[in-house]
Amino acid sequence: MVASCKHENMVKVVKWEKPIQPFLKLNADVITKYPGKIGGGGILRYHQANVIYAFTTALGFCTNKQAEIQAASHGLHWCIQHSYKKIHFEVDSELVIKWPSNQAKPPWELQQYTLELHRLMLKLKQLKYTHSYREANNTADHLSKCSRNRHCLTFLHQGTTPYSCKRKLHARQAWYGKLQEKENEKN
């Protein structure tokens, strides 16, 4: 006799969440779909969702997990250099969160990259790190796609951010503005 099986669908709202003060949020991601053109990107934002900086970098030939770690390291290194030391770090790779925090052991070929990421994390005054769904990390994902056309690490500021990324950022900021207005109307 076959036991009855109940199938349930669950819908979860996935969105980028603003960091809680005093944290700044750093999102990082990579693109590995193009052989030989692996690249990373990331974005650092204030608690109001305003952009502090964004970056895109070509990472050359490596595995996608190595690229994830290197993109994260680029972002954290920039934060430390510019005295941003209270960071909420968010990526869509659970292993990039687990490896440097010793929740899982990285493969031996990635240990040097994981140790470097761990060293950077220790230099911060406060660190919160979380996993996010890919859909909530889409601006960093888009920046990583822009790395295909670059051959070096590029730091982008508000005036130099690629148009397609600006469009996403402006749409998101407009959405947050409308959400804030609705919350103010309730109160």
Indicate whether 12 belongs to any domain: no
CA distance 41 to 31: 9
Amino acid found at 150: R
Identify the three-state secondary structure at position 92.
coil
Indicate whether 125 belongs to any domain: yes
> Which residue range(s) make up the domain with 138?
24-176
Task: Give the count of domains, the chain.
Answer: 1
pLDDT of residue 22: 93
Report yes or no: 137 and 91 within 8 Å, Cβ to Cβ. Answer: yes
Could you read off the pLDDT tens digit of each residue along the chain, which spans 187 residues? 556 777 788 777 778 889 999 999 999 988 876 556 688 888 999 988 888 888 888 888 888 889 899 999 999 999 999 999 999 999 988 998 899 888 999 999 999 999 999 999 999 999 998 888 877 777 777 777 776 665 545 555 555 455 555 555 555 555 445 444 555 555 5
CATH number of the domain residue 142 falls in: 3.30.420.10
DSSP readout, 108-155? Answer: GGGHHHHHHHHHHHHTSSEEEEEE--GGGGHHHHHHHHHGGG-SS-EE
Indicate whether 9 belongs to any domain: no
CA distance 89 to 129: 5
Indicate whether 114 belongs to any domain: yes
Indicate whether 68 belongs to any domain: yes
DSSP readout, 52-81? Answer: EEEEEEEEES--HHHHHHHHHHHHHHHHHH
Amino acid found at 169: L
* Assigned token pair, 29: 């991601």
CA distance 53 to 164: 16
